[in-house]
Structure 1
Amino acid sequence: MSLNLNTLLPPVMLIVSNVFMTFAWYGHLKYKSSPLLIAILASWGIAFMEYCLAVPANRMGSEVYSTAQLKTMQEVITLAVFSGFSVLWLKEAITVNHVIGFALIACGAAFVFRA
């Protein structure tokens, strides 16, 4: 697989879309005193931006990657983005067990990309 815009753009778009989705799903946890309906509506708005990136990323990515590879890529991106989000936004610690668990998932993901 040669590196070109079709191979690089989908993962970049998936990273950005995942930042939006992580905020949509978990960002409101920093504001637990706000009404739940406000959290839901804000999350929907943020999630819309995620879909505007994820759908085209998967459409373009399917020209270069298998759907299993795209899904695996998304899961590894999710763990990486969520780890940073937990520490930076929610001020939660990442434990050794988290790191080991995420590393094992990443090792499993590597098998999906083996030729």
Structure 2
Amino acid sequence: MPTISPSVLPVLMLFASNVFMTFAWYGHLKFKETWLPLAILVSWGIAFFEYWLAVPANRWGSAVYTAAQLKTMQEVITLIVFAGFSVLYLREPLGWNHGLGFAFIALGAFFIFHKWS
């Protein structure tokens, strides 16, 4: 197992995997004139690398986090990565409604991670 903390490593790997997956799912939107089957094949190729990060991240992360915590972490990371991707790559602005929606999801993450006694 790598020498990075077992609680930090899955987070870093999930961030990296989400970058790949976001490009696989949405990167082709800048190339709408591209033949769709080609876009699908390229997306599959990109997603292959996402799996090489996500699967071990969840396997190693399960030593520290519950499955529900890993899934919640994945969703929050997905939104963070997608927000940056949307603004920086697609040049689509985010509005107050996006911020509010993300805040509700963060609140949900709080309820998943909080230790209730």
SS of 1:100's equivalent in the other structure is helix
Identity of aligned residues (%): 66
Aligned to 2:100: 100
**Where does 1:44-55 land on structure 2 (aligned, <5 Å)?**
44-55=44-55
Q: Distance in 2 between matches of 1:110 and 1:24?
A: 29
Letter in 2 for 1:98: H
Gaps of 5+ in 1: none
Deviating above 3 A after TM superposition, structure 1's stretches of 4 or more consecutive aligned residues are none
- Name the counterpart of 1:23: 23
Structure-1-length-normalised TM-score: 0.96
Q: Distance in 2 between matches of 1:89 and 1:70?
A: 27
What does 1:84-99 correspond to in 2, within 5 Å?
84-99=84-99
Structure 2 counterparts to residues 35-74 of structure 1, below 5 A: 35-74=35-74
TM-score, normalised to structure 2, is 0.94
Give the counterpart letter for 2:92 in structure 1.
E
Tell me the alpha carbon deviations over residues 29-53 of structure 1, each in whole angstroms, 9 at most, x when there is no partner: 0100010011000000000000000
- The aligned length equals 112
Give the secondary structure class of the aligned counterpart of 2:33: coil
- 1:64-89 Cα offsets, whole Å, 9 max, x none, are 00000000000000000000000001
Backbone CA RMSD of aligned residues: 0.7
